[in-house]
Amino acid sequence: MLWMMEFTPALNPESEAPLYRQLYQNIAERIRSGSLAKGKRLPATRELAGLLGVNRATISAAYEILENEGLISGHVGRGSFVTGEGGGPSAAIDWGSLLERGEAPSSTPSAEFSKDVISFVMSRPSRALFPLDDFRASCAAVLKRGNLPDILQLGSPSGYEPLRRRLWDDARAQGLAGPGDDLMVTNGCQQALDLAARALLRPGDIVLVEDPVYTGLKNLFLGHGARLSGIPVGPDGMDMAQLERALERERPRLIVVTSNFQNPTGATLPLAARRALLDAARAAGVPVVENDAYGELRYHGEPVPALKQLDEHGGTVLLRSFSKISFPGLRVGWAVGPKPLIDRMRQAKEASDLHTDQLSQAVLLEFLESGSLEAHRARVLRAGAERLAATLDACARSMPAGARWTRPEGGMNVWLRLPAPLDAGDLLPRAQNDGVAYMPGRYFAVSRVDRSALRLSFAGLEPDEIRRGIEILGKIVRGEIASSSRSSEPAPAMV
Amino acid sequence: MLWMMEFTPALNPESEAPLYRQLYQNIAERIRSGSLAKGKRLPATRELAGLLGVNRATISAAYEILENEGLISGHVGRGSFVTGEGGGPSAAIDWGSLLERGEAPSSTPSAEFSKDVISFVMSRPSRALFPLDDFRASCAAVLKRGNLPDILQLGSPSGYEPLRRRLWDDARAQGLAGPGDDLMVTNGCQQALDLAARALLRPGDIVLVEDPVYTGLKNLFLGHGARLSGIPVGPDGMDMAQLERALERERPRLIVVTSNFQNPTGATLPLAARRALLDAARAAGVPVVENDAYGELRYHGEPVPALKQLDEHGGTVLLRSFSKISFPGLRVGWAVGPKPLIDRMRQAKEASDLHTDQLSQAVLLEFLESGSLEAHRARVLRAGAERLAATLDACARSMPAGARWTRPEGGMNVWLRLPAPLDAGDLLPRAQNDGVAYMPGRYFAVSRVDRSALRLSFAGLEPDEIRRGIEILGKIVRGEIASSSRSSEPAPAMV
């Protein structure tokens, strides 16, 4: 049954595909690839549900599909057994070998748990805060407009022009765009990153990224055939000395930096480091992609100018999005940067999907122009400040000596490092069992794996849930430390 | 002034970026690249407007931006002159050399003309037919739902589950999906093509496509580093003998085929050819991408089963979309195919943009389930039949002997070949001047350029506009033939 332990990491968290489908796919792939051989017994639904911390019905649903497809068969009282490789009639195409090339994204734990699990897994806003009436009012205003047929008709790869113009005017007013710049609308920051990669990367190119970094960013660049070089992130963001060395030695094609409230660490790059980064990048002739999905979510402290604002030499493209400050289900973000790059990204956009959905672009413009976005942001900032404070307080109260965590001034994530010799990944099944879930640090690792670390995404949880969740986690951690100090040599000091 | 002639092909049609921006960008790029040297005089606005068949205000708007950016300067009575390379302060990044690699998509004529030009340029539905009240009702129903917060929250790369399930059930019921298949939602067919390319292609791979073929498909695969091999399309679709030869000799990675009402020719692959294609692809072990954006737009004749329906060996992925039968401004399509491929496409989707916009997914599901889509489709089919008939009748009435055109049974496009020695691209400026525009055949060419050909996209025009437009075109063509037979040797017979 040891293979069962691998189920947890093989489910995909940030995606929200229903868990039963993920489980089903996971098992089906193992059967087709032969790693789960014919005749093997699957764990009982109750057993697997307990291990994964999900409802038994979820497991049953997955097994049912497997059975319908002839991959397993169930025998009352004896359990379910692998019966074949499914797939229907004889396959003409050897999909396995056709698809083998290319880095499949590394899988990550599931975002879906039974109701009793307090999940710090997803870096996303709280749905309880969505201002549904304001959103409805924005939709209603758009639907009444005379230009509704334009919204429904084929649009421009640059974006819905009224939105593009508004974003451009704002960017100009904020000093984020100069005369050599242009702006285009994208499907959130994720697509803007993808388009920048399509415009700039050749397979084998080196990309400098923070280490640890958001899994979706890692997978995206690896999928384009890039080699990633991780620059360690401390409480003050990327390590500038290491960045400068890497620029000299590795001749990277691109630097990608999350300037504010970095995912997963929550770190913000200070002003001096921003200037140093721009100087170093300029000297090396390397463009900077400033990924700033979280910048508008500052709960306290002074805002720091964007790299794009500080860059007087046209080497930076800034990516922003409505997702984190309004509705992630609507995929609208934008990129502001040097015209030649934006031109190429626009061509890549047209090849990718023609243009961004115009209904959502029009609705978000109305949400912005009606003042609803600003009102919503004020509520989100109050709620975020409260949730961040609850997270930091609970860590201080519940975590044992030796634990370390970041103290972000905004965003959605706190990075927690457990005392040695604990491994946050090893602890996860037990944590889920006890009613709390998080993302182990190893999913964010680029060049260095920090097994002690984990990400706490607090924005989607109520302060009370946060306190209870971290209390549970603290108990587990203290228990583990007690038992490890009894059973082994003293752990080395943490540095 | 000869360089002016190149303006027309350098503007981009299917994209709808405002013409003034396209013009501005076009000229700015020429100045920055040095192909328009400092000191050179730009054509007067009136002159350029006449040549391009657009409003003078459009030209003035483009010149104004160029002037604001210090790229040109205007002198009353003398005209506008190239003054510099703009771009503000000294650039740190050599964007020109960073971006030089990679095939920039070939540019195509503009979709935006002065009101007086009857434009057959865009393959898109008529906005006059959009059922605005039904659309508003679908939005209202979605906004009232209890699951609105789920729609606004981060979603799944597989698609909004209620829509995905409905599409899956329909696909199963229609025999389009078997037990080895899966379905995912995409941002229209364009993104589905892109995801299939990301999942399957390595740079340098050969892809078999129809010749001529939709420009957006060509640019997409070229952008992924593929080499395209064009299989000629006749009135009955791809030439099967040549396809079989190409499969043997060229060892392609992939076949992409538009089975119904192909863009640009309007051709539909007959049943026997579908079976032959599947047999050949299966024998060669090559997967088939069935691009079927137009399949639901059959105006007369018997429907032919999809390749996906006929393929019993799991080698085909079928791409469909709401765009052509409802609202292209909402970017929702889907792909049904073998699970291993859909799994990999889903990973690529997650890297590309996390998931498709959920507001539009929910609205289109409601539009479908309320019966509005079927009612709209019935209206679109009546209107399309009328417009196609008007196109074919007008060609028969207005075109001289020696002209040939396809007779599609649906879709949005007719392919017209002018009598030798006419070149449809050369004729375009004159046609625009006389009040009609179209896409010259060369923009669709893969391996063979047919300069006599042009695409008439009729779906967005009223029957009366179609008749007037083709009448104008017929006059020009007849006039050109008369003058060319006076001024040169007799043209060879057209074969």
Residue A343 and residue B161: Cβ atoms within 8 Å?
A: no
Selected residue of B14, B16, B168, B343 to mutate for chain A interface (largest A Cβ count, 10 A): B16
Per-residue pLDDT, A93: 76
**Residue A83 at interface with chain B, using a CB cutoff of 8 Å:** no
Closest Cα in chain B to A122: B154
Q: Which residues contact A172 (CB under 8 A, 6 or more apart)?
A: none
Average pLDDT score over residue span A126-137: 96
The region of weakest confidence among A106-120, A412-426, B95-109, B328-342 is: B95-109
Q: How far is B125 from chain A (nearest CA, A)?
A: 8
Which of A330, A346, A359 is facing B330, going by the closest CB pair? A359
DSSP summary character for residue B492: P
Per-residue pLDDT, A149: 96
Instruction: Sort B388 into a burial class: Cβ within 10 Å, 0-12 / 13-18 / 19+.
Output: buried
Average pLDDT score over residue span A21-47: 77
Per-residue pLDDT, A4: 42
> Residue B320 pLDDT more than 80?
yes
Residue A351 and residue B220: Cβ atoms within 8 Å?
A: yes
Average pLDDT score over residue span A315-329: 96
Q: Is the backbone of residue A371 left (phi > 0), alpha (psi -120 to 50) or beta?
A: left
Residue B285 and residue A93: Cβ atoms within 8 Å?
A: yes
Selected residue of A11, A15, A85 to mutate for chain B interface (largest B Cβ count, 10 A): A15
**Three-state secondary structure string covering B386-455:** HHHHHHHHHHHHHCCCCCEECCCCECCEEEEECCCCCCHHHHHHHHHHHCEECEEHHHHCCCCCCCCEEE
Residue B359 and residue A358: Cβ atoms within 8 Å?
A: no
Per-residue pLDDT, B6: 41
Selected residue of A16, A98, A154, A183 to mutate for chain B interface (largest B Cβ count, 10 A): A154
**Residue A84 at interface with chain B, using a CB cutoff of 8 Å:** no
Q: How far is A425 from chain B (nearest CA, A)?
A: 23
Which of B14, B139, B178 is facing A143, going by the closest CB pair? B139
Q: How far is A443 from chain B (nearest CA, A)?
A: 15
Q: How far is B422 from chain A (nearest CA, A)?
A: 31
Give residue B2's pLDDT band: very low, low, confident or very high (50, 70, 90): very low
Q: Which of residues 340-379 of B touch A (CB under 8 A)?
A: 340-341, 343-344, 346-348, 350-360, 363
> Residue B412 pLDDT more than 60?
yes
Per-residue pLDDT, A401: 94
Work out the percent of chain A whose per-residue pLDDT is above 70.
Answer: 88
**Residue B96 at interface with chain A, using a CB cutoff of 8 Å:** yes
Selected residue of A352, A457, A461 to mutate for chain B interface (largest B Cβ count, 10 A): A352
Per-residue pLDDT, A42: 84
Which of A70, A313, A340 is facing B89, going by the closest CB pair? A313
Q: Within 10 Å of residue A187's Cβ, how many Cβ atoms?
A: 31
Q: How far is A269 from chain B (nearest CA, A)?
A: 22
> Residue B413 pLDDT more than 60?
yes
Q: How far is A353 from chain B (nearest CA, A)?
A: 5
- Share the mean pLDDT of chain B: 88
Tokens representing B184?
Answer: 């995912």
Tokens representing B407?
Answer: 């007779």
Give residue A230's pLDDT band: very low, low, confident or very high (50, 70, 90): very high
Q: Which residues contact B364 (CB under 8 A, 6 or more apart)?
A: B138, B163, B322, B326, B330, B332, B373
DSSP H or E run through B169 = helix B161-173
Backbone angles phi, psi at A55, to 5 degrees: -70, 150
Contact indicator for B324, B288 with CB cutoff of 8 Å: no
Closest Cα in chain A to B355: A331
Tokens representing A252?
Answer: 């990277």
Average pLDDT score over residue span A440-459: 95
Per-residue pLDDT, A489: 55
The region of weakest confidence among A278-282, B31-35, B212-216 is: B31-35
Q: How far is A140 from chain B (nearest CA, A)?
A: 8
Per-residue pLDDT, A148: 97
Q: How far is B347 from chain A (nearest CA, A)?
A: 7
- Counting one residue from chain A and one from chain B, the pairs whose CB atoms sit within 8 A come to 333
**Residue B44 at interface with chain A, using a CB cutoff of 8 Å:** no
Per-residue pLDDT, A26: 80
Output the DSSP codes for A86-125. --SSPPSS-HHHHS-SS-PPPP---S---TT-EE------
Which of B90, B99, B153 is facing A329, going by the closest CB pair? B153
Closest Cα in chain B to A17: B156
Q: Which residues contact B176 (CB under 8 A, 6 or more apart)?
A: B170, B306, B308, B309, B318, B336
Find chain B residues with C-beta within 8 A of A287's C-beta.
93, 98
Per-residue pLDDT, A434: 95
DSSP summary character for residue A318: E
Per-residue pLDDT, B14: 54
Tokens representing A96?
Answer: 């396995």
**Residue A309 at interface with chain B, using a CB cutoff of 8 Å:** no
Residue B350 and residue A216: Cβ atoms within 8 Å?
A: yes
Give residue B5's pLDDT band: very low, low, confident or very high (50, 70, 90): very low
Rounded to two decimals, the pTM is: 0.81
Contact indicator for A205, A227 with CB cutoff of 8 Å: yes
The region of weakest confidence among A99-113, B153-167, B393-407, B420-434 is: A99-113
Q: What angle do CA B110, B322, B351 make, to 5 degrees?
A: 85
> Residue B113 pLDDT more than 60?
no
User: From CA B293, how far away is CA B295, in angstroms rounded?
Assistant: 6
**Residue A16 at interface with chain B, using a CB cutoff of 8 Å:** yes
Output the DSSP codes for A6-29. GTGGGS-TTT---HHHHHHHHHHH
Q: What digits encode the pLDDT tens for the residues B357-409?
A: 999 999 999 999 999 999 999 999 999 999 999 999 999 999 999 999 999 99
Q: Which segments of B148-192 are extended strands (E)? A: 181-186
Q: How far is A242 from chain B (nearest CA, A)?
A: 21
Average pLDDT score over residue span B332-354: 96
User: From CA A459, how far away is CA A325, in angstroms rounded?
Assistant: 11
Residue B94 and residue A351: Cβ atoms within 8 Å?
A: no
Q: Which residues contact B471 (CB under 8 A, 6 or more apart)?
A: B394, B397, B398
Find chain B residues with C-beta within 8 A of A315's C-beta.
91-93
Per-residue pLDDT, B92: 65
Closest Cα in chain B to A123: B154
Residue B338 and residue A95: Cβ atoms within 8 Å?
A: yes
Residue B155 and residue A341: Cβ atoms within 8 Å?
A: no
> Residue B425 pLDDT more than 50?
yes
Give residue A254's pLDDT band: very low, low, confident or very high (50, 70, 90): very high
Q: How far is B253 from chain A (nearest CA, A)?
A: 9
Find chain A residues with C-beta within 8 A of B28's C-beta.
339
**Residue B153 at interface with chain A, using a CB cutoff of 8 Å:** yes
Q: How far is B163 from chain A (nearest CA, A)?
A: 13
The better pLDDT of the pair A50, B431 is held by B431
Selected residue of B145, B172, B357 to mutate for chain A interface (largest A Cβ count, 10 A): B357
Tokens representing B453?
Answer: 């050909």
Q: What digits encode the pLDDT tens for the residues A191-206?
A: 999 999 999 998 899 9
Find chain B residues with C-beta within 8 A of A200's C-beta.
98-99
Q: What digits encode the pLDDT tens for the residues B9-51?
A: 345 545 556 777 778 878 877 777 667 777 788 888 877 776 7
- Share the mean pLDDT of chain A: 88
Residue B202 and residue A327: Cβ atoms within 8 Å?
A: no
The region of weakest confidence among B89-103, B264-278, B473-487 is: B89-103
Which of A102, A354, A356 is facing B190, going by the closest CB pair? A354
Which of A18, A180, A287 is facing B161, going by the closest CB pair? A18
Closest Cα in chain B to A317: B93
**Residue A146 at interface with chain B, using a CB cutoff of 8 Å:** no
Q: Round to the nearest angstrom and report the end-to-end CA distance of chain B.
A: 37
Cis peptide bond prior to B9, omega within 30° of 0: no
Per-residue pLDDT, A30: 77
Which of B90, B332, B340 is facing A99, going by the closest CB pair? B340
Work out the percent of chain B whose per-residue pLDDT is above 90.
Answer: 72
Selected residue of B85, B98, B247 to mutate for chain A interface (largest A Cβ count, 10 A): B98
Tokens representing A246?
Answer: 């890497």
3-class secondary structure, B243: helix
